[in-house]
């Protein structure tokens, strides 16, 4: 009888594993947003770029399409050099369909000019995340305004 219970337990675990993974995915994406914001606020482009897929595309406001890691990294480094800090992302909606997650969010940031003036700004953010073979999520497409 014990062997039978063990087999049933293993089958139940296998059948429910997809559901458990799906329940933790929103938390994983929320954690990515927090870590991404922290890396950007600290000016750590090396940490920041690891959140993007190798073929990621970023569409920043009033700028060209950034279609490789070097361009994405350079853009964020440029913003940090002009004093942009304190990025925060507020999730509005997140839909996960298979290995793709669609996020809409709001963002806020602060810029301190060389003269010491503080400028607060905000906008909308759209992210398309792609689940990687190891189960992690990375940004495949990002659009800011």
101 close to 94: Cβ distance less than 8 angstroms: yes
Instruction: Give pLDDT tens digits for 66-102.
Output: 999 999 999 999 988 988 888 889 999 999 999 999 9
Instruction: Check residue 79 and give its pLDDT.
Output: 87
Instruction: Check residue 87 and give its pLDDT.
Output: 87
Residues of the chain with pLDDT under 70: 1-24
| CATH number corresponding to 2-144 | 3.10.450.50
Instruction: Check residue 85 and give its pLDDT.
Output: 84
Instruction: Check residue 2 and give its pLDDT.
Output: 53
Helices (H), the chain: 2-42, 45-49, 69-81
Q: How far is CA 28 from the centre of its chain?
A: 9
């Amino acid at each position: 009888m014990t062997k039978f219970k063990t087999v049933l337990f293993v089958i139940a675990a296998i059948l429910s594993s997809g559901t458990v993974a799906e329940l933790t995915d929103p938390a994983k994406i929320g954690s990515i947003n927090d870590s991404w914001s922290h890396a950007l606020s600290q000016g750590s482009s090396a940490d920041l770029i690891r959140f993007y897929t190798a073929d990621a595309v970023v569409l920043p406001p009033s700028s060209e399409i950034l279609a490789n890691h070097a361009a994405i990294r350079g853009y964020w480094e440029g913003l940090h050099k002009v004093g942009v800090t304190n990025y925060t992302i507020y999730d509005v909606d997140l839909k996960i369909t298979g290995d793709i997650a669609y996020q809409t969010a709001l963002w806020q940031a602060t810029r301190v000019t060389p003269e010491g003036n503080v400028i607060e700004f905000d906008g909308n953010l759209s992210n398309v995340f792609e689940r990687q073979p190891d189960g992690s999520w990375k940004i495949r497409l990002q659009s800011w305004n």
